[in-house]
């Protein structure tokens, strides 16, 4: 778990930023050091923006940080995200690192710009993002929703429905799920096996094949 002094500073920053920018600004702190993705949120201000609370589970970036290569992780500033109820958020993700450079926490800011986008020409400079043409990334309320979204993304990546997928297609989908950290979610293997109509043994062989 993050050190108490570090957590206290992050809590103060979260409260200060949320207070400065008002109720449309959600600020969230994820603890990566405890390696419990199902309940990574240890502090959140204005959680009504995404419908999350302390003790809730991961976003895509949390799974990426837990399952990916640490040296490749980079802070992500001013990108678009989308909540399940359709809000468009301007988001920033900053990794908190230890002395060895390992990501041990995430400090995230999510500002609801849904109404502002309706007035984009008037306040375009404020709502500008680095990659405006990119589809907003979804923010999940729980790990079940997140796993469903990752499975949907794997199907889109392959480009055909499961019923028409061959072995190579399913290996490609499993590779995506493995690289995005989907299998860090408890009992994700059962859900993936059922969705793709494969056995646990086949799933493990696909994962091994994907790694190769």
pLDDT tens profile 2-44: 677 788 999 999 999 999 999 999 999 999 888 777 788 999 9
* Phi, psi of 144, deg, nearest 5: -65, -45
Beta carbons within 10 angstroms of residue 107's beta carbon:
19
**Where residue 108 falls among pLDDT bands split at 50, 70, 90?**
very high
Q: Based on the fold, state whether residues 88 and 168 are members of the same structural domain.
A: no
Count structural domains, the chain: 2
Predicted TM-score (pTM) of this structure: 0.65
Q: Based on the fold, state whether residues 128 and 152 are members of the same structural domain.
A: no
Beta carbons within 8 Å of 135's beta carbon, 6+ residues apart:
none
What is the pLDDT at residue 38? 79
Q: Of the residues 140, 155, 176, which one is the last residue of a structural domain?
A: 140
CA distance 162 to 170: 8
CA distance 174 to 165: 12
Q: Based on the fold, state whether residues 168 and 182 are members of the same structural domain.
A: yes
Q: Based on the fold, state whether residues 206 and 130 are members of the same structural domain.
A: no
Q: Of the residues 140, 165, 199, which one is the last residue of a structural domain?
A: 140
Range of the domain at 150: 146-211
């Amino acid at each position: 778990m993050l050190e108490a002094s570090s957590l206290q500073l992050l809590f103060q920053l979260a409260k200060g930023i949320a207070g400065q920018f008002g109720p449309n600004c959600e600020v969230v702190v994820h603890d990566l050091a405890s390696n419990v993705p199902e309940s990574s949120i240890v502090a959140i201000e204005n959680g009504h923006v995404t419908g999350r609370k302390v003790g809730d589970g991961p976003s895509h970036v949390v799974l990426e940080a837990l399952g990916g290569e640490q040296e490749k992780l980079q802070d992500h500033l001013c990108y678009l995200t989308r909540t399940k109820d359709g809000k468009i958020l301007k988001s920033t993700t900053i990794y908190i690192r230890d002395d060895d450079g390992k990501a041990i926490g995430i400090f995230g800011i999510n500002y609801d710009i849904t109404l502002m986008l309706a007035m984009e020409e008037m306040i375009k400079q404020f709502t500008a993002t680095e990659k405006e043409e990119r589809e907003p990334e979804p923010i999940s309320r729980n790990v079940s929703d997140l796993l469903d979204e990752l499975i949907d993304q794997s199907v889109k990546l392959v480009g055909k429905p499961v019923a028409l997928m061959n072995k190579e297609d399913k290996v490609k989908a499993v590779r995506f799920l493995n690289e995005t950290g989907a299998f860090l979610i408890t009992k994700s293997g059962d859900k993936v096996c059922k969705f793709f109509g494969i056995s646990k043994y086949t799933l493990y062989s696909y994962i091994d094949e994907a790694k190769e």
